[in-house]
Amino acid sequence: MMPDRHEANAVAGAALALCCLLLAAADARSQSAAGACKVNTPQGVKPDAASGQTTAVRIAVVGPGGKPVERKRFYLLERSAKETAFAGMPPAPRREEFLQGASAELRSWLARHDCDTLYCPEYEADYASAVKTVPEFRKAYEDGLRKYKSERLALEWLTVNFPLKNVRTEFYTRRKTWLEEAARRAGRVSSVMTDEKGVAFFTGIRPGAYYVSNLAPLEGGLVWDCAVTALPPIPKQLHSVTVEMSAPK
């Protein structure tokens, strides 16, 4: 009897551990940290949607460590993303889900390079070394050399012959589709991309109430959903309101 009970306990324990693991994984998948929002509204200016004048909202985004969130797309929405876009939608695609078939060297190389696709121009400087160390790049280079009979072209056109299409653009394509659907649900007004200082402007918008969100969480799970009231234009300034977005403390 004892061995049986032990066996049953062991099975139950393993099942419990598996459940815990699955729950933790599911939780990690759905978990996203809410970004902090601070709206700087000038004193004494009241919204006047009837004026017909358009205005602008400036956003300044910093991530963990106080560094600017560069080259990320943010959306101006009519409704809260949390209440509309995320309800009933599958989680946003994550890059690690699109690395099937990738070698360990490629995974390591991508982790060191900070881009949504293989097309960040900063990558090009590293192609020459990548073809020596990463099997996928080496294959792409050899294919290119065979086709174009030119080492220069084989290197410059490396992505054309890159063997794993899922790694190359599938993540970008799927996430773009997801973002468009999420933005549609939340009433997309406009979208902008931050510069290297983490700054961008929503211009040509009517004064009124909006939300600003990145919709798809950053890799660490950080997502903003900031309410903002766009005020009428201030003559000297391009924008009437600034939304400062940061990581939670």
Residues forming contacts to other proteins in the complex (CB under 8 A) are 56, 62-73, 95, 114-117, 119-121, 147-148, 152-153, 156-157, 159-162, 169, 172, 176, 190-193, 195-197, 199-204, 218-220, 222, 235-238, 247
CB of 12 to other proteins, least distance (A): 40
Residue 85: what are its φ and ψ, rounded to 5°?
A: -70, -40
Q: For other proteins, which is the closer residue by CB, 190 or 229?
A: 190
Give the amino acid at 64: P
Give me 230's structure tokens.
Answer: 């766009």
Q: For other proteins, which is the closer residue by CB, 175 or 185?
A: 175
CB of 82 to other proteins, least distance (A): 19
Q: Which residues contact 166 (CB under 8 A, 6 or more apart)?
A: 98, 99, 100, 101
CB of 13 to other proteins, least distance (A): 36
Q: For other proteins, which is the closer residue by CB, 9 or 54?
A: 54
Say which residue the tokens 């699109």 belong to.
Answer: 98
CB of 116 to other proteins, least distance (A): 4
What is the DSSP track for 12-28? HHHHHHHHHHHHHHHHH
Q: For other proteins, which is the closer residue by CB, 15 or 113?
A: 113
Distance CA 86, CA 75 (A): 14
